[in-house]
Amino acid sequence: MSVTSDPVEQPAEQLVDPQEELLTDHSYDGIQEYDNPLPGWWTWLFIGSFFFSIFYVVYFHMGATGRTIQDQYDQQAARIFELRFAEIGELKLDEATIVQYMNDPKWLSVGKVIYKTNCVSCHGPEGGGLVGPNLTDDHWKNVRKIEDIATVIQDGAANGAMPAWRNRLSHVNQIVLSAAYVASLRGNGATGKSPEGDLIPPWPESKQ
């Protein structure tokens, strides 16, 4: 201490050469402190983080378009939909289209991803049915024609037992391709629940 109001002594052994580093006159319960300056790299990184922050705010928050998170999301969505569907455009929701894609292994795999994301927990990994009905046999509950599958996917059925997917599948092609995949499950021989609903005629043959 600089003032003699305390009977504090300096530690007996001075471990550091005072020539090299300056000790302050502080001593608390025997703890001393050096008067070392701030490390240069520390100071400059600290100052650098300030400047980076200013740059960051100007770049993202001064009104430039296309830089908000929502804008970036829209760009990403557009990119991916283009990647997915540039080749086939916007599909029509009709019998011919569903039948066509039911027989197209490349696009069936897209339907399969949609099925895996959304449908397996009720209809089972192979379509054999869990809480929901078996999709592999010839008995169907709300489907007479192949395009009814798309209707059921979009609007649901049986008072919520089958939920509606209209708000969840964000592109019409996803409805068509998932309907095509579901149609393709028929007759795959998966073990599952016993048949429910009515016996319906086979799906139409592909025109191609």
Select from 33-41, 95-103, 134-142, 183-191 the region that touches other proteins (CB under 8 A): 33-41
28 forms bridges with which residues in the sheet?
Answer: 31
| Residue reference for tokens 């302050």 | 24
Q: How far apart are CA 11 and CA 106, in angstroms?
A: 81
| Residue reference for tokens 């959304």 | 118
Contact flag: residue 58 with other proteins (CB under 8 A)? no
- The answer for 71, left when phi > 0, alpha when psi is -120 to 50, beta otherwise, is alpha
Closer to other proteins by CB, 33 or 187: give it. 33
Closer to other proteins by CB, 10 or 188: give it. 10
Closest distance to other proteins from the beta carbon of 205 (Å): 26
Q: Which residue among 19, 49, 194, 208 contacts other proteins (CB under 8 A)?
A: 49
Q: Quick one: 157 exposed, middle or buried, by C-beta within 10 A (0-12, 13-18, 19+)?
A: middle
First vs last C-alpha separation in the chain? 97
Contact flag: residue 64 with other proteins (CB under 8 A)? no
Closer to other proteins by CB, 2 or 194: give it. 2
Window 96-125: residues binding other proteins (CB under 8 A): 109-110, 113-114, 116-117, 120-122, 125
CA Rg value for the chain: 35
Closest distance to other proteins from the beta carbon of 138 (Å): 23
